[in-house]
Amino acid sequence: MSNFSDSLDPVEWRISDAPIEYPVAVDAMEHRIAEIHAGNAPETVWLLEHPPLYTAGTSADPTELLDNNRFPVYSTGRGGRHTNHVPGQRVAYAMLDLKHRGGDVRRYVRDLEQWIIDTLAQFAIIGERREGRVGIWVTRGAPANPLHREDKIAAIGVRVRHWIAYHGISLNVEPDLEHFGGIVPCGIDEHGVTSLWDLGQTASMPEVDLALRHCFETVFGRETTTAEGMP
């Protein structure tokens, strides 16, 4: 769990019901982190879905965009490579002040990973880290089973400005997994992609949101308050 000053305000928790266009979301995040940096707004977690699109992070390889005609493609300042956002995927943008969280970006990423792992555990899914691979992974089948494989269930991408972290995580709840075929997800082509529904856990988005909120407070050690969705 992250340790930081008890004098901080609760993290503001926002949920958008309608899909948010990617450029609109980025503009809203950048406005909010400027407000956080100026001391005019609390840290914020924003839960949303995007309409179908691909994003290319700062390490993206153009050859890993396999179908550039399927969805719009947006270059983004977050870390990482190509990823896919579609309805049925819960995106959680976390705008948090790292100066009050130890000033350690690597530790922050580990906390994001733990947040996903703990959330998945609420649905009896074992999420795991893998050395050299970004995101959270699920093992399917015993190692000796010919059908044994590892699939990615959640992605992580972070950008930091003025020590305020933004962007965050995306967790596959019930997206159309076929759309991941238009990219090499996060540059890893030897493994697949999965979701809660693909694994037989037919959780609703509100149920996932509740688990994310509970586990956020456990991992990051800060209570949350509810506000209307952004922008």
Tokens 């967790």 belong to residue? 171
Q: Which of 186, 193, 211, 212 is catalytic?
A: 186
Compute the distance between CA of residue 3 and CA of residue 52 in angstroms, rounded to an integer: 37
Is-contact 205 148, C-beta < 8 A? no
Q: Which long-range contacts (CB under 8 A, 24 or more apart) does 129-135 make?
A: 133/186, 133/188, 133/191, 134/80, 134/186, 135/186
Amino acid at 149: R
Active site residue 215: no
- Report whether the peptide linkage leading into residue 19 is cis, meaning its omega lies within 30 degrees of zero: no
Residue 217 has a CB neighbour count (10 Å cut-off) of: 16
Distance CA 142, CA 149 (A): 9
Q: How far apart are CA 160 and CA 31, in angstroms?
A: 14
Whether the CB-CB separation of 49 and 90 falls below 8 Å is answered with yes
Phi, psi at 17, each rounded to 5°: -80, -40
Write out the catalytic residue numbers: 186
